[in-house]
Structure 1
Amino acid sequence: MQKSSIITQCPSCETQFRVTPGQLKVANGQVRCGACLVIFCAIEHELKPKAAEQVPPPKVTTRKDETTNTFNKLDLDLNLTTETPSTEKSVDTARSLPIKGQEELIKTVAPADVPTLTIETEPVVLNRSTNNGTSSPWWFIGCVLAALTLIAQHLWFNRGDLYWTHTYRPLYDTVCQHIDCNIPTRVDTAKITNQQFLIRPHSEIADAITIDLVLINEANHNQPYPALHIAFSDLKGRPVASRTLQPESYLDRSAVNLKSMPTHQPIQISLDLMSPGMRGINYQLELLAPAL
């Protein structure tokens, strides 16, 4: 009768195992000792029945380090030693671990026998400064200087508009005393209206006329007085006479600032001109930007 299994002995630790033909077939007879993990040929170290009777009781080894790796623990748990082969019932059904059969044995192990991997969370540091805050004051000073530079550039390049506002006027007046600001004049003749245009003969000079005007600056800022362009034409619209008067021609420089016409205040102007004759019966007044 053919045997269903053989008994082999580890050449290293002399531990005896019972190996089935199926286990021998998986790894071509190569097995791993469950005690010392030595790989050997089971057929070459097979114990005959007589030799097995003379073999002293097997050594039972216990591994101290059970957490070295998963395969070591599995080998230790599945290690079943055999006693003397005097009776087949006394021999434990110990099995070796074939090399290629380890994956099947791993699946049969209870989940409680497999050590649990514990992962501890740690805070993630995105960036860590190595200068210990030594450069922070200089960084703050640099930001302040950059901000002041941007503000100064805005005030300088927009001085033509900001100067005429009441908020920035004192600042520009103070600074412009030390440097030449060359502030451009703000002129908006569309905001200057004529409330009266009256022509009458001159009271003292013959062939002369007097023109009375009332100008109002409706802008929110002061601006130069406008130039006055007066034109006369006949019944058919053909020009008869015209003249353009600059502010210094109809205003007294000593009494009036020619570049600062007050806002929302009527300004009365009286002009003495030569009469255009009997043909100049139509007239027109146009307010122009002054030649400063």
Structure 2
Amino acid sequence: MYVECPHCQALYRVSQAELTAAGGWVRCGECNRVFDTGLVQNTSTTRTSRPHDDASPDDDRPDDPIDGHPTETGQGDIDEFEDPLAHSAFEAAPSLPPPRRRWALTLTLSALSVLLVGVLGVVYVYLQRDQLAKYDSLRPALTQLCNLTGCRLPPQVDLAAIALTSRNIFAHPNVPHALMVTATLVNQAPFPQPYPVLQISFSNLEGKTVALGRFKPSQYLPQGANPHALMPVGKPIDLSFTINDPGQQALAYQFSFHSNP
């Protein structure tokens, strides 16, 4: 059977076994293009010999002898005629997967892509969990993530939910040039949170700040209290500590809370 390339019209001899093994697809050895032999009309080629010219009556010379010895003008041993179509000049094209297999491959690649995006998202959330934990709407999901991975979220902080139910500043009865500070803190948030940094500012009659001090939990909590523990919910915490007297210009004071780094 002969097959003609539809692209460059090169002609090749192929066998049915070769076509079956390649699924009917072949690659042209001339133009290197792949085509389906089922769409190309097979060509049966019959070799015909070119008729000899009529011999002249007086031309009765015998043909050149072929005796294996060199002649004066040509090759002694005449090579056996080789059919140029005897060797196929095509390569079997890789068989294409059936449509169902291609569909399954596409589905698998899509699923792997979605899985990869999901994994990258989880890694990002894991690395940024401290910042994302500040958003109340994300904290439940982050808590579940840490339950699975063993990570820890920073404690929730709501300074506005810390109430100062009582406060007082007066001259220390035993220490000269010192003031005694007493106060009561209550965590009104629905969750425990770290103790804040307590700031006390003093101002004069014009409202200008003349003195300011910031005190860490270890400085204002009662002796024996753990400054690294969390404030319990709804439980009053009594404070009592000493500060330096800012002077007679300090006529008013104000308490404020700041995040504890």
**What's the TM-score once normalised by structure 2's chain length?**
0.46
The structure whose Rg is larger is 1
**What's the TM-score once normalised by structure 1's chain length?**
0.42
